[in-house]
Amino acid sequence: MSRHARPRGLLARGLLSRGLWPLAAAGLSLVLVITAIVVLSSRDEDSPVVSGPTAESAPAPSGAGGDGSRLAGQPLYVDPNGAAAEQVRAWEGAGRQADAARIRRIADQPVATWFADDRAGYADRARQLVTAATAAGRLPVLTLYHIPDRDCSGQSAGGAADATAYRTWVRAIATALQGHRALIVLEPDAIPQAVEGCLGARAAQERYALLAEAVGALRANPGVLVYLDAGNPTWITDPSRMLAALRSSGIAKASGFSLNVANFETTADNVAYGNRLSALLGGAHYIVDTSRNGNGPARKGAGNQHWCNPPGRALGDPPTTRTGVPLADAYLWIKRPGESDGACGNGAPPAGQWWPEYALGLTR
């Protein structure tokens, strides 16, 4: 990594002789002024890059070989119309001021906006989101979650009808993002589920090909970063098992990979895992979902209670692009805190639906 240029010293030889001291002094003063200007105008590439509202520079094109400052200092976009914000307004109107104040801890943070269906207007929603974020001078986070055979018949089953439908859906969103900056989390769980074996060999290869095509379509927009999901440290515990699938899914053209989406593993464990996987990928960068990992994971017990709305969890590190970890581009709230993991007991609604009681629990 290069550092800022240090101007070579200049010597005013011979000027101090023969009574030319005033001229020498003036010359040296001029040299010092010029030197100071050069030093100040040189950019220290090790310092964080802060992008303002009018920044036009595009993010680095690849996760590998980045300088660790791809997003440092970049402000993230807060959606004023999210479910948490609506809950705050409703409870304030009902006089539940204390509860509203607690939910505001979620509403005031930048969280990802999920695109998980092909209902009419999905591309317009994406365009409106990035347009508002651009106007605010902030970076929006979008999660695309519509791969065919999504969640392998689990709590979040669904997705596009087939490969053709998925390609059409991705292209429409890519078109909606043109001219804007955005950070995309691409298809949580899709790769680790395929590696785990929930799909047949042919279906898995089709999934990887679709992801690679999606990376290419989205990254055709210079301002768009794309992170392929790589699970969490307790899922595919040997990161080398992820390599072939990530490569087939376009990691070389992506901005990096994401970890811990909708999970509860600690930030420290994710960083350790991310650094191991990054080393195998030649230095790929990564992002970590810290939305609900403040107390770490729940103990594993019967059924799916350790991951499906487990009690006693807490909000994690606030979203930031200043992680202090060279390879970690951001800690993000990708899973929207307060949205259900699935209808898995205790009155939980279906996956993705807002659950204010659980949201309150996360803020305690």
The 10s digit of each residue's pLDDT in 304-355 is 778 999 999 999 999 999 999 999 999 999 999 999 999 998 899 999 999 9
Q: What is the mean pLDDT of residues 154-174?
A: 97
pLDDT of residue 346: 85
Query: For residues 28 and 92, which has the higher predicted lDDT (pLDDT)?
Result: 92
Q: State mean pLDDT over 120-149.
A: 98
pLDDT computed for residue 46 by the predictor: 33
- Residues 122 and 58: beta-carbon distance below 8 Å: no
Domains assigned to the chain: 1-47 (no CATH), 109-363 (3.20.20.40)
Given a cut of 60, whether residue 51 has pLDDT beyond it is no
Residues with catalytic annotation?
Answer: 151, 189, 341
Q: Express as a percent the part of the chain with pLDDT over 90.
A: 76
Q: The tokens 């629990």 sit on which residue? A: 361
Half-sphere exposure of residue 224: CA atoms within 13 angstroms, side-chain side: 26
Residues 168-226: tens digit of each pLDDT: 999 999 999 999 999 999 999 999 999 999 999 999 999 999 999 999 999 999 999 99
Secondary structure (3-state) at 7: coil
Both tokens of residue 67?
Answer: 């300088």
Burial class (CB in 10 A: 0-12, 13-18, 19+), 138: middle
